[in-house]
Structure formats: C-alpha cells, structure tokens
Chain A
Amino acid sequence: MQRELPRLITLVTGMFMAIQYFIPHKHSEQFYQTSLDWLIIVGIFSIVLGIASLVNLHVNKIQRRDAGTKYSYILLAGLLYMILSAILTGTDQQSFFMKGYIAVLNPITSTMFALLAFYIASAAFRAFRARSLIATILLVSAVVVMLGRVPAGEDLIPGIAKVSDWLLNVPNMAAKRAISIGLGLGGSATALKVVLGIEAPHLR
C-alpha cells in the first residue's frame, strides 16, 4: 500500500492533467487552477526544506572542523543577515536588506561573472585546437560568429556578418531543432513511464 497509493495518485493526477489540456470547460479549468495552487503550496515547502538542508550541511561542516569552515561561517552569517534584516527593517530602498543587496550581493555576482572573460580567453588560447576536421569546422564557425557579431568584425571582413547570420539561422537551427525534438520525445516517454508507474523516481 505504501508504494501503490503514491503510484495511484501519480496515475490519476498525471492522466487528469494531460486530459484537461484538451477540455475547454469551466470544471476542467477549475481543476487545473486547483492543481496550480497545490503546486505553489508544495513548492513553498521545498524552499523550507532547501534552507534547512543548507543550514544543516554547513553546521555539520563547522562541527567537524572541515577544510573551509570559515566559508561556512560566512554563508550562515550572510543567510542570517538577509533573513533578519528583511524581517526587522523591511525591503525598501533604505533598509539594511537592500544595503546588503546593493553593497554585497550586487558586486559579488557581477565580479564572479566578469571573471569568466579572463578564463574563457585563457581556455580559448590553450584548448581551442584544430585537431581534427570536426574540431576545425567548430573553430572556424566560432571565429566567424565572434567576428560577425561585433561591428569591428564587419569593418575588418565585409560580408562576415551575413555568414555569421547564416551559421546561426541554418546549421545552428537544424542542430538545435533536432536536439529539441529529441528532448521532447524523451521527456514525453519519461513522463508516460512515471504516470503509468513503470518508473517511480519519486518513490526511491
């Protein structure tokens, strides 16, 4: 019963959700609406679970005195600061929550992303090699698109923008479409397996 009941709920809910999509009736829409409300409620519980799990992980790291314990302290302090500052001072522009957001989170995330430019350049220099025909095609395509997407590239090599557009609109699109169709079919098959109880990853 412990396994059968969840499978039955999955089957009934899955079938209803699939069928209601094709039934433009008020009862069907009501059912859909109620399902969305349930999804939101269940989702909120997962946020609580996520925070609890994160705190638990880092508290354990501190207790065990693992390497990098200081980062766990910083993470917990940051988490506590953002939660408490939002509760105590609100979230308007003058609040401590917003000060934390603007003065800490904003520059940290921007800096992390900006560092990518350096690593991409370094990786491109060290690893982007014409080792085979396929690798050479990839390399040439990358160079054409990189130059074709900036104004200076068009000035340096007239017509490169059109080649870049063609690469994006024809070979890129064909590959992406094939991947999307494959993903869609694979996703549908997996969903069908879960609904019919052939696979039950949620019960493991």
Chain B
Amino acid sequence: MAGTRGFQLERHLVFLLIFLAVLVPLFLPAPKTVRVTPEVKSVYDRIEGLQAGEIVMLPCEYDPSMAAEMSPMTMAVLRQCFRKDLRVLVTCLVSNGVSLVESELRQMAEEWGRKYGEDYVYLGYKPYPGIVIMAMGEDFRVPFPTDYYNTPLDEIPMMKGVKNYQNVALVLTINSTSGIDYWIIYGTGRYKFPLACASTAVMAPNYYNYLQSGQLFGLIGGLRGAAEYEQLVGHPGKAVKGMLVQSVSHILIVALILLGNVIFIVERRRRRS
C-alpha cells in the first residue's frame, strides 16, 4: 500500500508535522479550564477530606521515560498534601525512578518548608514490587529496615507507631508499570486499605473496571488527569500547559488517520474500476 501514488506522503513529512504540533503550542497560552472527570475529583476530594497529620502513602513507580506524564501528578498531589499539613510516606519500587522521585519530593518539600522525618519520609527502592507490597502489609520495617538515607525507621519521628497500611489514611500509587496490578491484588486485596491509582493515559482504560468495582476509589489517567488535578489544586503547571500540545497532536493524528483512509478508499475504488 505504501508504494501506491496516494501514499507518496513521506513519513518524514509526518515526523515534521508532529514535531511542529508538539513545538508550536508550547509557545501559545495554555487552556483556561480543563473539564474535571469524576474519577480524578474522587481522589482530590478524598485527600481533601483528611485531617492534618494523617499519613498519605504515595508509591511513585515511574522512571524518567514516563516523567513527562507522571511527574506533574506527583507534584500536584504533593502540593495538595503539604498544603493540608498531611504527612507523606513515599516509596519507589522502580529502580530507574528512585533518584527522580527523591528529587521531586525534595523540591516540593523545600517549596513548602516541610521537614524530612516529621512531615515526609522517603523509603526508596527494594526489588520485586509484589513481595515488597505484601511485606509492607505486615510491617514497613520488613522490606525497609532503613529509609532511603539509611536511617533506621524506628529513629524517624514520623514513623513512630506507624507499622503497616493500617496506619496510613490511604494509598495513591502514581504508577507507569504493571505494579498497579500488584497494589490491587497483593495490596488492597489482602490488606483492605483505600487505594487509588494514577497511571499513564495508555494504561488508564485497564483500570476502569477496578474503579467501578470499588477496588480503586479514584483514577488519574495520563497528562489529562494530571491537568485536571493541577486545576483542582489551583496551581496550573506543566500538565495544563501540555493540554494544548496534546490537543494539537491528537487532532493532527486524527487528521492523518482520516487522510490515510480517504486515500485508501480512493485507491480501492480505482483498483475495482
């Protein structure tokens, strides 16, 4: 098919169009509002309803390749937690993301003047997420006898009396891996804690059934979900800005699909006649 006259549009031209569709909107003003979906609002409302001092657990499982989609979610959720004086317990069960998540956590904590060990704790990475999730259900100290900075958990003020999931208000996994399944099956399935997830846009449709069954109380899907969350938190950032880029790119891809099909139909008719 690619060899027919109708398909002479070189893929280099498609690449150039996509490049421009991504680049040009970066210099244009971001959209003023983004429609907020119930699944994102549900996460926001649940965290908003917590009392100051309660612990929110954020397993952030993504690496730099997914940072464009996932980091805005982490930043927006951390901003909400720190604004509400909630304490945050963070893990990263993806080896390539450990330093990335740590730097994001530190950046947000510095912005809000939060103190390590009292307002937030970073446990870091341990291999085999399924096993670590189950072990944390018994005691955080089993997989993480020390935190990311090698401080024993018993010496960290925030961790006093915090044994396992029963001592956290909710778990929101910000996850670009199949680790979400582990959190559903081995985490909330066994230890019955409130769980929500934030995933990439590609993965999000996989988790709507868990949302409907009540195994997840909320779902933040892709850059769009991050933009909704930034809007709810009242601090539009990279995700809201990215909506214009995504809008133009999506419209271009739809246009390319339609154009490809028009050429396909014309060619087919010509061959038949």
Residues of A within 8 A of B (CB): 21, 29, 32-33, 36-37, 39-40, 43-44, 47, 91, 93, 98, 101-102, 105-107, 109-110, 112-114, 117-118, 120-122, 124-126, 128-130, 139, 142-143, 146-147, 149-154, 156, 161, 165, 168-169, 172-173, 176-177, 180
Contact = CB atoms under 8 A, between A and B. Distances in A.
Given A139-B257, A168-B205, A146 B138 contact: no
B206 to A, nearest CB: 6
Contact of A36 (B22, B65, B96, B131): B131
Contact of B247 (A21, A109, A150): A150
Nearest to B181: A180
Interface in B78-106: 96, 99-100, 103
Contacts of A44: 127
Contacts, number: 148
A143 B254 contact: yes
A47 B247 contact: no
A106 B134 contact: no
The 3 closest A-B pairs by CB, nearest first: A152-B247, A109-B65, A113-B65
B1 interface: yes
Contacts of B64: 105-107, 109-110
Interface of B: 1-2, 7, 9, 11, 14-15, 17-19, 22, 31, 33-35, 37, 63-68, 96, 99-100, 103, 126-128, 131, 134-135, 138, 142-143, 190, 201, 205-206, 208-209, 212, 222, 224, 243-244, 246-254, 256-261, 264-265
Given A40-B135, A150-B224, 7 more contacts: A36-B135, A93-B103, A106-B100, A107-B64, A109-B63, A110-B64, A118-B15
B143 A40 contact: yes
A98 B100 CA distance: 10
A27 to B, nearest CB: 14
Nearest to B103: A93
A39 B251 contact: no
A130 B266 CA distance: 12
B102 to A, nearest CB: 9
